Amino acid sequence: MKYKTNERLEEKILDSIPVGIVTYDVNGDITYVNKVAETMTGYGLSEIREFQKINHVLEGDRELFWKTLQSGQPFFGFESYCPSRDGKEIPVVTSIAPLLNERNEQIGTVATFIDNSEIDRLRCVEEHASLILDHITDGVITLDPSCVITGFNKGAEELLGMDASEVKYRKFEEVFPTERDIRDKIHETLTTGREFKDLKVQLVDREGTNKHFLITTRVLRNRNEQDLGVMLTYKDITLQEMLEAQMRQSEKLAVIGELAAGTAHEIRNPLTSVKGFIQLLDQKYPSESPEKAYFRIILSELDRVNEIIREFLLLSKPTEPNLRLIDINNVLEDVKTLMSSDALLHNINLEYHLSQAPIVCEVDVEQIKQVFINLIRNAFEAIGLNGRLAVSVRADNRQCEIRFTDNGPGIPTDTAAKLFEPFFTTKPEGTGLGLTVSYRIIQNHGGNILVDTREGEGATFRVILPLAMKS
């Protein structure tokens, strides 16, 4: 009784499988046909059994049947034809495998087949879905319950700088080993079903560029509400974040400018008087007098205060750029000459990778030199001794980019976010205005300064300037 119950259960299971199944004994006689095979052919088991020969059911597969029976080796995925009651030959994809008993003895073969037109339909559906995904500009990544990447659309390739072929069927943590926060959100979505929407994250692409994204996770379910995995979407908001940062910076500079305009001149006037009197006192003492050293310190500090005020005034009312056309390569060559001695002093390998073709911009040469020198000096201070700084330039049809890449200790994320803010400094005697003034100068030239850094891996400052309009 139990045996018959198990047998009926096995038949129900076989009937529920959405492929045609036919079993044969060692003589090639049909012993079983499931419901899908009966539906496809239009024949019942008793009618099929009357054929007696295997090639009456799976036309042309007789040789494969005997090969499977004799060698015990299966054959998968070959195309053949299956007859039907209406006289049509149905193209099918067939697989044949040995049928074994409990003692692992071969007692026949089992053939499975699926309508080729159904495969073509499913393939068309898959291609259509893939085409839709590839036309979505956002990055879309699908993962199975084990966090293995099963889908990676064109948007994800472009945003993350990776090819689908190199990431599909690999675990997410293997492809993105540093993105712990995202992995945690994926894991929570998979385990609890909680979905996250528009989480702000910052990633570094393969070129070392910081990018900002909004991340969303969604549980993938089939029609039976069974969980199939998770879908992760990336929306690039780098430009939006950049514009918002520039707006915040401009607002800060406007406030600083108002403050500077109202106070800088009032401070400079009495300082000029103080400096004049100190110089008069200095002249009254003989050269060997110890007081001379004090006067030199006072005058040096007064010069430093005046320099801070000068930078302060640049924020309030920057000097109108004296624009002229020049090859940026020539500007960098001049800066190289000026900074080579400092590089030797710090034992820093200062490398230049200039463009062979002219890169012509319309700039105030002295102001641009000031920016470049400031960035190189900052890099030297960050590196310390025995380091490397590479200066490179490249251009496209609209703009050029000058990169200053060092192998120093890098900049912490929270510090990098404040670098261009007025009065923010990490130097014991810094004013916190050098990068702010540099940022303002480049902004007045219609450009931008960006920083790409990761703590412990150095930093890259990128100065972007528009190319001169061709007449």
178-198 exposure pattern, b = at least 16 Cβ within 10 A, e = fewer? ebeebbebbeebbeeeeeeee
pLDDT score, position 203:
80
Q: Residue 122: is its pLDDT beyond 80?
A: no
pLDDT score, position 119:
60
Residue 117 pLDDT class (50, 70, 90 cuts):
low
The residue whose two tokens read 């702010």 is 436
What own/partner pairs with CB < 8 Å and gap ≥ 24 does 305-309 have? 305/267, 305/271, 306/268, 306/271, 307/431, 308/431, 308/433, 309/264, 309/267, 309/268, 309/271
Q: Residue 148: is its pLDDT beyond 70?
A: yes
Average confidence score pLDDT of the chain: 81
Residue 59 pLDDT class (50, 70, 90 cuts):
very low
Query: What's the whole-number mean pLDDT along residues 95-118?
Result: 81
In angstroms, the CA 379 to CA 389 distance is 7
Positive or negative torsion for Cα 205, 211, 217, 222: negative
pLDDT score, position 390:
93
Q: Residue 60: is its pLDDT beyond 60?
A: no
Query: What's the whole-number mean pLDDT along residues 373-393?
Result: 90
What own/partner pairs with CB < 8 Å and gap ≥ 24 does 86-94 have? 86/42, 89/59, 90/40, 90/41, 90/115, 90/116, 91/115, 91/116, 91/117, 92/20, 92/40, 92/58, 92/116, 93/119, 94/58, 94/61
In angstroms, the CA 23 to CA 15 distance is 13
pLDDT score, position 54:
44
Phi, psi for residue 144 in degrees, rounded to 5: -85, 175
Q: Residue 260: is its pLDDT beyond 80?
A: no
Percent of the chain with pLDDT over 70: 80
Looking at 151-165, 173-187, 355-369, 421-435, which range is the least confident one? Answer: 421-435
- Compute the CA torsion angle 56, 62, 64, 67 (nearest 10 deg): 140
At residue 385, what is the residue type? L
Residue 3 pLDDT class (50, 70, 90 cuts):
very low
pLDDT score, position 216:
93
Query: What's the whole-number mean pLDDT along residues 132-147?
Result: 83
In angstroms, the CA 298 to CA 274 distance is 10
First to last CA, the chain: 96
In angstroms, the CA 251 to CA 201 distance is 25
pLDDT score, position 1:
46
Looking at 125-139, 290-304, 408-422, 433-447, which range is the least confident one? Answer: 125-139
Residue 176 pLDDT class (50, 70, 90 cuts):
confident
pLDDT score, position 177:
84
Q: Which domains does the chain have, with CATH numbers?
A: 2-114 (3.30.450.20), 136-236 (3.30.450.20), 241-316 (1.10.287.130), 324-466 (3.30.565.10)
**Model-level pTM greater than 0.85?**
no
In terms of pLDDT, which residue wins out, 90 or 408?
408
